[in-house]
Amino acid sequence: MKILTENARYALVELPSLRLMPADRLLLLSRIEAPLLFLCEESAAGDFRPEPWLKLAEGARAELIYSAYTDNGRPHPLIEVQGHPFRDDFDFGKLLLVRKSLVRRACATCSNAGLQWAALYHLKLCCCEFLYVNTPLYAASDNDLRKSGEKQFDYVNPAQREVQVEMEQVFTDFLRRENALVLPRHRIALPEAPVESLSQISSQAARSGRPLASVVIPVRNRAKTIADAVESALSQQAPFPYNVIVVDNHSTDGTTEILRTRAAVSPNLVHLIPSRTDLGIGGCWNEAVQHKDCGDYVVQLDSDDVYAGPDTLVRMVDAFRKRGAAMVIGSYQMTDFQLRPLPPGIIDHREWTDENGPNNALRINGLGAPRAFRREVLLEHPFPNVSYGEDYAAGLVLSEKYLLERVWEPVYCCRRWEGNSDAALSQEKINANNRYKDALRWQAFRRRQAQAQDSGK
């Protein structure tokens, strides 16, 4: 940490990162005399012009001000904070203006003076009012040039495990202060028949003509991959009746013809083309769940992925029966198109704990895959009709009310190829995705506060 400028109005402080900082540096910041602190990364220090920022601080009550910037002459827009910056990787850019009063409050409320990484995250969570300026006020360089598809798994990288544990601790303390914690007593187990009666249930399902489980594959224009996905689902070996429901969202590239041909020789393949033309992935899921042939357990498979083996469906269904879970989340292996392993390897979301997972879920970007649900729960809590974050929205809601179960071994292969929709997103698309999930977090936060208040009456 370097103090580059200090006077009666402000101090300019250079930090190695505007995301990771130990608690002792936060304490040093609180001892600076100036009432306003500019915190910057090295790449932004050379373009610093304080006057526009100081003018904003005089006319606003915001405790933290941040702005868009230019990177190599191109605008780098950010997004506004919705309620609180729940994500520890919320992008505030390379330069912040914070009030000294905020720094002191963060020091006073920090429950762990030994924090090694999460002190600045704690400060941001302590902030009560933010101001975002959409006009670039400075220039800086982004040193992380990886594509979006590579960055998205940083929070499950085993090398970052200690950082993530500390971030979770700080975030849990924040939720406790805000009376927004989901406690174990808030969640209920659904009635579940004894495991030994599974064969009886399977027999009853077979006699009724309905499957016990359904694999759901929403698809639009995946002619290159849909046959692999369908074959993976149809080749599952299960002691109970199941089907595969493919919701074909009006494909135009030959996907429809591939599915029509396969369905003609596969009695347990349901090729469903919705009457609606405005459906996202979530809407396609709702079509499958509401279909008369949908099973009691509904298991996800993306149209360009495959199951890791013929026992995936059985393992997911068995997991429901351990203690009445409403949702089961598996683990997956990152692979290339030919199913050769790719970094970071197995994604198992070990950050999840049964006690605190629903709380930590508000901080991270996803809960894992494949996802499976009790149909009765999805009928009561349908997916939002969107094509990004629909699964995260469902996971947040269900984790507040019900038990979730995990399958820690990889049962799914997530294939990376040139057609992946999230492989290399533009900054505008990244911002739109983050904006949507941040809205889900803010809604969930308010729900959880109301739930905690009701349970305390």
SS3 at position 36: strand
Name residues whose C-beta falls within 8 Å of residue 113's C-beta, 6 or more positions apart in sequence.
23, 24, 27
345 vs 222, residue with greater confidence: 222
> What is the mean pLDDT of the segment spanning 316-340?
94
Across 411-440, average pLDDT: 88
End-to-end CA distance of the chain: 47
Is there a domain that residue 238 lies in?
yes
Share of the chain above pLDDT 70, in %: 91
In tens, the pLDDT along 372-411 reads 999 999 999 999 999 999 999 999 999 999 999 999 999 9
> In the prediction, which pLDDT does 449 show?
95
Output the pLDDT for position 456.
67
C-alpha distance from residue 441 to each of 81, 86, 117, 188, 345 (Å): 11, 7, 23, 22, 28
Backbone φ and ψ of 381, nearest 5°: -125, 80
Q: Are residue 135 and residue 188 in the same domain, yes or no?
A: no
CA nearest to 156, candidates 349, 428, 406: 349
Question: Is residue 274 in some structural domain?
Answer: yes
Residue 87 has a pLDDT of 96
CA pair distance 360, 355, nearest whole angstrom: 10
Confidence at residue 148, expressed as pLDDT on a 0 to 100 scale: 58
- pTM over 0.85, yes/no: yes
**What pLDDT is stored for residue 322 in this prediction?**
86
Stretch 67-96: mean pLDDT: 95
pLDDT at 243: 98
Q: Of 42-51, 99-108, 234-243, 425-434, which range is least confident?
A: 42-51
How many Cβ atoms sit within 10 Å of the Cβ of residue 338? 7
Distance (Å) of CA 53 to CA 9, 65, 80, 332:
12, 8, 17, 46
Name the residue range of residue 191's domain: 184-426
Q: Are residues 126 and 220 in the same domain?
A: no
Shared domain check, 282 and 414: yes
Q: In this structure, are 283 and 411 located in the same domain?
A: yes
Does 457 fall in a domain? no
Q: Specify whether 309 is located in the same domain as 201.
A: yes
The stretch 89-111 carries a mean pLDDT of: 95
Residue 428: exposure state from Cβ atoms within 10 A (0-12, 13-18, ≥19)? exposed
Number of domains in the chain: 2
- Would residue 56 count as lying in a domain? yes
Share of the chain above pLDDT 90, in %: 78
* Per-residue CA distances from 367 to 152, 153, 227, 396, 417 (Å): 12, 11, 27, 9, 22
3-state helix, strand, coil in the chain (%, to 5): 40, 20, 40
| 181 pLDDT above the threshold of 80 | yes
* CB neighbours of residue 391 within 10 Å: 22
Asked if 225 and 285 sit in the same domain, the reply is: yes
Residue 28 has pLDDT above 60, yes or no: yes
Query: What's the rounded mean pLDDT across residues 121-132?
Result: 97
Note the pLDDT tens digit of each residue in 263-313: 999 999 999 999 999 999 999 999 999 999 999 999 999 999 999 999 999
For residues 373 and 327, the answer to whether their CB atoms sit within 8 Å is: yes
- Amino acid in position 329: I
Name which residue leads in pLDDT, 195 or 45.
45
Residues 112 and 190 in one domain: no
β-pairing, 2-6 with 10-15? antiparallel
Question: What's the pLDDT at 422?
Answer: 62
Query: How much is the average pLDDT of 6-18?
Result: 94
Q: Nearest CA to 333 among 410, 424, 421, 441?
A: 410
Nearest to 51 by CA among 125, 151, 146, 138: 138
Is 82 inside any structural domain? Answer: yes
Instruction: Provide the pLDDT confidence category of residue 39 given band limits of 50, 70 and 90.
Output: very high
Angstrom distances, CA of residue 329 to CA of 147, 279, 298, 312, 392? 26, 24, 12, 12, 12
Top pLDDT among 42 and 306 is at: 306
What is the pairing mode between strands 213-219 and 297-300? Answer: parallel
CA distance linking residue 424 with residue 415, whole number of Å = 15
Examine the pLDDT at 145 and tell me if it is beyond 80.
Answer: no
Average pLDDT score, the chain? 92
Quick one: 62 and 206 in the same domain?
no
Q: For residue 440, tell me if it sits in a domain.
A: no
Do residues 218 and 115 share a domain?
no
Which is nearest to 215 in space by CA: 282, 270, 290, 274? 270
CA-CA-CA-CA torsion sign (335, 341, 345, 347): positive
Rg (CA), the chain: 24
Distance CA 70, CA 167 (A): 29
Q: Residue 207: count other Cβ atoms within 10 Å of its Cβ.
A: 9
Task: Kindly state whether residues 337 and 407 are assigned to the same domain.
Answer: yes
Answer for the pair 314, 407: CB distance below 8 angstroms, yes or no.
no
Residues 268 and 377 both lie in one domain? yes
Instruction: Examine residue 188 and state whether it is found in any structural domain, yes or no.
Output: yes
Q: For residues 10 and 34, is the Cβ–Cβ distance under 8 A?
A: yes
Q: Does residue 299 lie in a domain region?
A: yes
Between CA 401 and CA 248 the distance in angstroms is 31
Would you give the DSSP letter of residue 147?
-
pLDDT, one tens digit per residue, over 335-358 is 999 999 998 889 998 889 999 999
Last residue of a domain, one of 90, 121, 142: 142
CATH classification of the domain holding 197: 3.90.550.10
Q: Where are the extended beta strands (E) located within 306-403?
A: 306-307, 327-335, 341-347, 371-374
Q: Both 222 and 116 in a single domain?
A: no
If DSSP states are collapsed to H, E and C, what string results for 253-266?
Answer: CCHHHHHHHHHCCC
